[in-house]
Structure 1
Amino acid sequence: MATEPPAGKFGNHQWETDHGKSILYQSLSKGHGRETKRHQQDGGPHRSTGSEGCSCMDRRRVVLKTPEVTCRRASEVLLKTLTFIRNLPSFYHVPWEDQLVLLRQNWAPLFVLGMAQEGVDFDLREISAPSLLKKILLNQSLTASNELGSSSLGASLAEVQKMKNLLWKFWDLDISVKEYAYLKGIILFNSGCHVLNCLPYVQTLQQEAQQALMEFISTMFHRNLGRFAWILQLIASLQDINADAIEELFFRPILGQATLNVLLLETLHIKPD
């Protein structure tokens, strides 16, 4: 018996939408050749790195072990992500205010999905926080110490570990190129934000991407929708990834004090506030 796809942040699954001539459907499908299925079995994610939910991990800060290499690869992933968005006419058919909302709320999950597609793994180095005794000996006031501790120095280990766990789960499912394309459409046109001016249109675009993904999986995996359910659960989890942690870990060494949001808007030619 096929597993029912989970309902959640990504709206109701209305499969009746006719996407045969849809601009979004054609854009997502364009340029992807015939897929070769590498994994015949449909299994759930099983690999995990570290334990989640430990409060001590929230206080620990980490940086990249090899920032020169990893930041370059992360920048390439971000550029490919922005290129994907720029090549979707449907994105530019919504008002610029909606483009702004969609980009701000979805760039981080799209980036993590891009990291999964490109197979970008990375090692971390924990930052040692100075002890209270050392601060006292150095005549550092508690106020100054608190300001130092709250400054943007490294990313939360808990948040980074959450992202690494999701990457492993995507790799375990062995997502194909076409599946990644459809997933990007589902994430970009996330209709969970109800402040959109063109909410019904965005919902339709998301449903088209969901239907395309379901039909592809149904064809490639002999109508076993268990895989479809697993993937939707994973992209729902992507929404919980902290965008600030991503910016701090992968782009702060490059941008310095510059803001990534400004760079994203300029690259996509979206009118700022």
Structure 2
Amino acid sequence: MLLPATANSASMATKIPAEKFGKCQCETHHSKSILYQILNKEHGSETKWHQQHGSPHCSTRSKGCPCLDRRRVVLRTPEATCRRASEVLLKTSNFIRNLPSFYHMPWEDQFVLIQQNWAPLFVLDMAQEGVDFDLREIPAISLLKKILLNQSSTATSELSGSSAGASLAEVQKMKNLLWKFWDLDINAKEYAYLKGIILFNSECHVLKCLPYVQSLQQEAQKALMEFISTMFHGNLSRFASILQLITSLRDIDADAIEELFFRPILGEATLNVLLIETLYIKPGWL
């Protein structure tokens, strides 16, 4: 039986207008010469980003634009935000550790469920804790500027291929999802049931005890539906809306989360390994 965990009330941040997120770089036009634009690309990009506030609500003109995938971002205040993210991750691991039903499964299944579901669980806890964050865009590297500054082609190639920072498209997707949860004003019990639905993921068909996991997920879904029906007078449209968010949660890129919130702390280490060690899963599996 899943027991809802007591959660602290989430502090809500002030919503930022969508237009402040900024236009797609592909749509930006300048009257300066092309050479001028190239030589000043790094400075201009940085200045423009500092003038924006990183709203999670993207412009419809930017949706589907490939430049969002190419643009890389880092945290504006990494020390404070990484500390907050670490606290959220600890809460996620504590939720898993305090579920006896989870540890009744073979350790191989525990490993698969953690590997597949830690990212959506983390975002869910970010939403519950009301954690918002500001971003800073990494200036794009101007190849011509590197050449004019007499940097070697090898150094230029390494810089151009650098994957520092997280994809703006993936981070923007996560911020949008956080705001959807906050708009629904999910309460502590709903979050607890949602975590059970996410963790006991019946779509992991490689599990040895798949029927057991399916039964636990169904139990969590039934508990959520009954709770919403009681609290919201039989109006199950809320139940449907919340379940729709689960698909979006599973679509969140775990690598983007790791790169944005934990790379400054972990260095070259892998978050999956850290979580497994924290939860005392059999080390021989690694």
TM range (shorter): 0.7 to 0.9
| TM-score, L = length of structure 1 | 0.82
Q: 2:151 aligns with which of 110, 133, 139?
A: 139
Whether the aligned pair in 2 keeps the contact of 1:182 and 1:210 (CA below 8 Å) is yes
Cα distance change of structure 1 residues 84 and 30 upon mapping to structure 2, 3 Å threshold: closer
Q: 1:124 aligns with which of 111, 135, 138?
A: 135
Cα distance change of structure 1 residues 29 and 139 upon mapping to structure 2, 3 Å threshold: closer
Give the structure 2 partner of residue 106 of structure 1: 117
| C-alpha RMSD of the superposition | 1.9
Equivalent position amino acid for 2:103 in 1: Y
Unaligned 5+ runs, structure 1: 1-23, 33-46
Cα distance change of structure 1 residues 146 and 96 upon mapping to structure 2, 3 Å threshold: farther
Q: CA deviation at 1:149?
A: 3.6
Whether the aligned pair in 2 keeps the contact of 1:49 and 1:165 (CA below 8 Å) is yes
Whether 1:167 and 2:175 are equivalent positions in the alignment is no
Whether the aligned pair in 1 keeps the contact of 2:113 and 2:200 (CA below 8 Å) is yes
Q: CA deviation at 1:135?
A: 2.5
Identity score, percent: 79
Unaligned 5+ runs, structure 2: 8-54
Q: CA deviation at 1:257?
A: 1.3
Whether the aligned pair in 2 keeps the contact of 1:102 and 1:189 (CA below 8 Å) is yes
Whether the aligned pair in 2 keeps the contact of 1:104 and 1:261 (CA below 8 Å) is yes
Q: CA deviation at 1:148?
A: 3.2
Q: 2:224 aligns with which of 185, 190, 213?
A: 213
- Which structure would you say has the larger RCO, counting Cα contacts within 8 Å and 6 or more residues apart? 1
2:94 match: secondary structure = helix
Give the structure 1 partner of residue 165 of structure 2: 154
Q: CA deviation at 1:145?
A: 3.8
Equivalent position amino acid for 2:57 in 1: T
Cα distance change of structure 1 residues 146 and 207 upon mapping to structure 2, 3 Å threshold: farther
Whether the aligned pair in 2 keeps the contact of 1:187 and 1:235 (CA below 8 Å) is yes
Q: CA deviation at 1:29?
A: 3.3
Give the structure 1 partner of residue 203 of structure 2: 192
Equivalent position amino acid for 1:68 in 2: E
Give the structure 2 partner of residue 235 of structure 1: 246
Give the structure 1 partner of residue 35 of structure 2: none
Give the structure 1 partner of residue 94 of structure 2: 83
